C-alpha cells in the first residue's frame, strides 16, 4: 500500500516567548530567555522561585466567564493555539469534510491546576465534599482534544497522547500515521501544558529536576553547559494543522513543510533517567530516518530534547554522535529549551515549530546561556551556541524524551 504524504498547512502557539507565531519566531532568532520570577503563586518557600510563564495572557480576551468554568489552563492554551493554526491554514470550515478532520492532541499532565484547586478547597472547607461538577472534565488530559473538536465540529479521530515530555511528538506521529493511511484528511495536532503551580514546581523540586539558580533566572536553562543544574519549567501550547498533501494542494494551501517520518522507542531502563549511552534516543532517531526514507546524511539540523539536566543532555549527545557518526559534526544542533523552558507535554509541539522556522527562514535557533561547555561534549560539534546561525537546510529532526523512558523523534523537510 502506497502511503500518502503529509504536510503542515497551519501553525499557532502561545508560549513564554510569544503569544503568536511572529513573536515566537522573532524571540527565538534573537536568543531571548522566557524565564522570570514566578507570578502564578507565592514561591517564597520553594527551592525554585522562577519559571518560563506566559507573558500578558488574559483569558477574558478569548473566553467568556461561562466558558472558563469548563476549561483548565492547559485547555485554554490548547484552544488559543489551535484557533491560530486553523485560521492560519485558510481552511474553509463550511466546505471541508468534518468526518475526515480529527484532533490528536497531547498533554503530559493535563489539568493539574484544577486538581490542586479542587483538593485544596476540599481540605480547607472542613472535609465537606463540595466539588465542582466540572472537576473531572477539566482535569483529565484528553479534554483539550475534545474541546477543540467540539468548537469546530471535527468528527474524525479524536484523543490525547500521554507520554510525559514525549507526548507532543507522539501525537504528531499518530496524526501522521492516520493521514498516511487515509483515515483522515486533516488533523489538528500539538500539545499544551499548564503545570506552573505548587504541586508542579514542588513535585519537580523534590526530584531535584529543576534549576535553583534563583539569582539569575534568565541564565538558568543552559543545556550542554558544565554548570547546568536542572530544567526550567514552562507553560503554553503549540498547534499544527497536518494535512494530506493532495488535499492541501487541491485547495491551494500554503505549505510550511512535509512531515516526513517519525520514530518511537523505550529506554526500558529507569523511572526518570535516560539510558546513559542514549540507546533509546538513538533507536528513535534511526527509526524516524528510516520511516522518512532518508539517509543519515540528509539530516541538516537536530532540535534536541536538551532540557539542561546533567544526565539528560549528555545522554542525548552520546546518542546523536552514535547515530550520525562523522555526519554529527556537519549538522547544526541546538536546544531551544534554553529559551522557552521545558513545556513538558507541549515541548515537542513548540519545538516542531522551531524546526519549521529553521526550514522556512534559513535560521537555526541558538542554544543560549552556554558559558563553559561540558568537558564530556566534543567541542567540534556545532551546538549553535549563544547566537542564531544562518543556514539553508532541507531536513530537520526534533527529539523529545519523557519520564518512563519514552523516546520520540519527528522529521520535517522542505517539500
Residue by residue, DSSP assigns 64-126 as -HHHHTT--HHHHHHHHHHHHHHHHHT--TTTS-GGGEEEEEE-SS-SHHHHHHHHHHHHHTT
Q: Which residue has 561540558 as its cell numbers?
A: 374
Q: How far apart are CA 101 and CA 323, in angstroms?
A: 36
> Catalytic residue among 160, 342, 355, 406, which?
342
Counting Cβ atoms within 10 Å, is residue 92 exposed (0-12), middle (13-18) or buried (19+)?
exposed
Q: Is 342 a catalytic residue?
A: yes
The C-alpha cell of 413 is what?
523537510
Give the list of residues 6+ apart from residue 138 with CB closer than 8 angstroms, or none. 70, 71, 72, 75, 111, 114, 132
Residues in the chain: 415
First to last CA, the chain: 22
Nearest CA to 138 out of 123, 116, 121 is that of 116
Q: Is 305 a catalytic residue?
A: yes
> Catalytic residue among 165, 247, 275, 355, which?
165
Give the list of residues 6+ apart from residue 189 with CB closer than 8 angstroms, or none. 103, 104, 105, 106, 168, 171, 172, 174, 175, 239, 240, 242, 349
Q: Is 165 a catalytic residue?
A: yes
Q: Phi/psi of residue 317, each to 5°?
A: -60, -40
Whether the CB-CB separation of 341 and 221 falls below 8 Å is answered with yes
Whether the CB-CB separation of 10 and 187 falls below 8 Å is answered with no
Q: Where are the beta strands (DSSP E) in 214-323?
A: 236-244, 257-266, 301-303
Q: What is the β-pairing status of strands 186-193 and 101-106? A: parallel
Can you tell me whether residue 193 is helix, strand or coil?
strand
> Catalytic residue among 147, 247, 305, 406, which?
305
Give the list of residues 6+ apart from residue 133 with CB closer than 8 angstroms, or none. none
The C-alpha cell of 371 is what?
558559558
Residues annotated catalytic, as ranges: 165, 305, 342
Amino acid at each position: 500500500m502506497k502511503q500518502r504524504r503529509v504536510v503542515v498547512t497551519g501553525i499557532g502557539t502561545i508560549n513564554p516567548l510569544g503569544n503568536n507565531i511572529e513573536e515566537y519566531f522573532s524571540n527565538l532568532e534573537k536568543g531571548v530567555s522566557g524565564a522570570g520570577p514566578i507570578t502564578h503563586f507565592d514561591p517564597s518557600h520553594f527551592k525554585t522561585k522562577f519559571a518560563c510563564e506566559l507573558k500578558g495572557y488574559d483569558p477574558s480576551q478569548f473566553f467568556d466567564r461561562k466558558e472558563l468554568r469548563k476549561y483548565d489552563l492547559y485547555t485554554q492554551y490548547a484552544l488559543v493555539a489551535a484557533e491560530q493554526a486553523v485560521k492560519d491554514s485558510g481552511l474553509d470550515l463550511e466546505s471541508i469534510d468534518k468526518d475526515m478532520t480529527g484532533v490528536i492532541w497531547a498533554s503530559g499532565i493535563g489539568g493539574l491546576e484544577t486538581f490542586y484547586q479542587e483538593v485544596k478547597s476540599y481540605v480547607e472547607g472542613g472535609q465537606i465534599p463540595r466539588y465542582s461538577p466540572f472537576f473531572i472534565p477539566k482535569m483529565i488530559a484528553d479534554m483539550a482534544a475534545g474541546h477543540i473538536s467540539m468548537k469546530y465540529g471535527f468528527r474524525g479521530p479524536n484523543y490525547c497522547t500521554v507520554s510525559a515530555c514525549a507526548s507532543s511528538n507522539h501525537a504528531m506521529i499518530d496524526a501522521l500515521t492516520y493521514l498516511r493511511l487515509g483515515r483522515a484528511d486533516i488533523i489538528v495536532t500539538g500539545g499544551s501544558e499548564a503545570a506552573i503551580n505548587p504541586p508542579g514546581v514542588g513535585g519537580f523540586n523534590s526530584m531535584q529536576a529543576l534549576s535553583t539558580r534563583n539569582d539569575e533566572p534568565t541564565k538558568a536553562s543552559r543545556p550542554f553547559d558544565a554548570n547546568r543544574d536542572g530544567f526550567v519549567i514552562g507553560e503554553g501550547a503549540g498547534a499544527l494543522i497536518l494535512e494530506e498533501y493532495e488535499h492541501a494542494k487541491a485547495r491551494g494551501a500554503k505549505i510550511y513543510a512535509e512531515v516526513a517520518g517519525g520514530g518511537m522507542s523505550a529506554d526500558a531502563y529507569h523511572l526518570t533517567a535516560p539510558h546513559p549511552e542514549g540507546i533509546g534516543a538513538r533507536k528513535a532517531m534511526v527509526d524516524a530516518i528510516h520511516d522518512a526514507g532518508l539517509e543519515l546524511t540528509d539530516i541538516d539540523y537536530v532540535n534536541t530534547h536538551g532540557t539542561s539536566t546533567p544526565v539528560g543532555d549528555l545522554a542525548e549527545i552520546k546518542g546523536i554522535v552514535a547515530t550520525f557518526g562523522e555526519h554529527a559534526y556537519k549538522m547544526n544542533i541546538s536546544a531551544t529549551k534554553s529559551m522557552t523552558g521545558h513545556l513538558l507535554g507541549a515541548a515537542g509541539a513548540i519545538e516542531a515549530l522551531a524546526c519549521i522556522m529553521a526550514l522556512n527562514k534559513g535560521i537555526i535557533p541558538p542554544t543560549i546561556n552556554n558559558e563553559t561547555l561540558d568537558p564530556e561534549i566534543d567541542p567540534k560539534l556545532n551546538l549553535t551556541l549563544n547566537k542564531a546561525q544562518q543556514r539553508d537546510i532541507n531536513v530537520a529532526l526534533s527529539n523529545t524524551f519523557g519520564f518512563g523512558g519514552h523516546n520520540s523523534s519527528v522529521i520535517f523537510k522542505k517539500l
